[in-house]
Amino acid sequence: MTSPRPDGLYVSVSQLKTYLRCPRQYELRYVLGEKPESVAVALVLGSAVHAALASYYTSVRDGAMLSLEAMLEVFAGAWIAAQPPDMPVLTDDGHPLASVASHGAAVVRTFHAHAARAPAVRPVLIETPFNVDLHDPATGEVLDEKLTGIIDLVAERGGRLRIFEHKTSARRYGRDQLDYDLQPTAYLHAARQLGLDIEGVTFQVLTKAATPIVQVEDVERDTSAEDEFLLTVVGVLRAIDAGAFYPVRGWQCRGCAYARRCRATRV
């Protein structure tokens, strides 16, 4: 029998969220290795905006702030690079790709103007990959699997280090998302193991509304949130090992990159 976790002994927040959203989608993507039928435009846009912000913070770290024009150039290159040549890009409500790209450029302009007047941060680490231990909070047993991911930015603000995570979103993050999103908890857990003394996590949410805004939110997580995150990890890994790959139908089916395959294998 093949392993239900073909990526071996690594688990990412994105994999956990996929399983929690729809175990069937997890199976199609990570266990069966099905090729996606399409790529969501939100992923393409998010990837291009991330690249532009990474260039911006790299330039600030190196002592020269990237101009808006240079940032837009990075965005334009990354926008093209993020589109796979062999699959369609799925836009919301049939919006043409070009209009999403020009909207993305507006998001970058909004960020550049925001950064010029925001409280100064001193970038320390940019796009930092990590692989750290996970343990069962009930038994203390170290798991075979490691937590893997990439921290967008670690920067000093007001004399303390913070993790900054950049998000593009259709709308502002609500209270529940700020309080319960798994990513800040997971990344604080990782930072602790990397020996970083991190004060907290800041979300920089770039909204894709007609008039984009940059929502800056500091979020904190205590050790009980970390233990709860580990309980979630252990539960998801056990369910995967048990082969619990049931479909969850809902909003996530709209635009699901595995919808055809899911229908074809429906029991």
Tell me which residues touch ligand SF4 (CB under 6 A). Answer: 22, 24-25, 28, 247-249, 252-253, 256, 258-259, 262
Which is nearer to ligand SF4, 221 or 261 (by Cβ)?
A: 261
Which is nearer to ligand SF4, 76 or 259 (by Cβ)?
A: 259
Which is nearer to ligand SF4, 142 or 248 (by Cβ)?
A: 248
Q: How does DSSP classify residue 63? A: T
Which is nearer to ligand SF4, 56 or 245 (by Cβ)?
A: 245
Minimum CB separation from ligand SF4 for residue 28, in Å? 6
Decide: residue 238, CB within 10 A, 0-12 exposed, 13-18 middle, 19+ buried: exposed
CA distance 121 to 119: 6
Task: Give the three-state DSSP class for 202.
Answer: strand
Which is nearer to ligand SF4, 24 or 221 (by Cβ)?
A: 24
Burial 190-222 (b: 16+ CB within 10 A, else e): bbeeeebebbebbbbbbbbeeebebbeeebebe
Minimum CB separation from ligand SF4 for residue 245, in Å? 9
Instruction: Name the strand (E) or helix (H) holding 103.
Output: helix 97-117
Which is nearer to ligand SF4, 34 or 73 (by Cβ)?
A: 34
CA distance 185 to 223: 9
Decide: residue 47, CB within 10 A, 0-12 exposed, 13-18 middle, 19+ buried: middle
Which is nearer to ligand SF4, 175 or 266 (by Cβ)?
A: 266
Minimum CB separation from ligand SF4 for residue 23, in Å? 8
Residue 3 has phi, psi (to 5 degrees) of -70, 135
Minimum CB separation from ligand SF4 for residue 16, in Å? 16
Minimum CB separation from ligand SF4 for residue 40, in Å? 12
> Do the beta carbons of residue 12 and residue 148 sit within 8 Å?
yes
CA distance 240 to 236: 6
Minimum CB separation from ligand SF4 for residue 248, in Å? 6
Query: Token digits for 10?
Result: 């690594």
Minimum CB separation from ligand SF4 for residue 35, in Å? 14
CA distance 184 to 13: 10
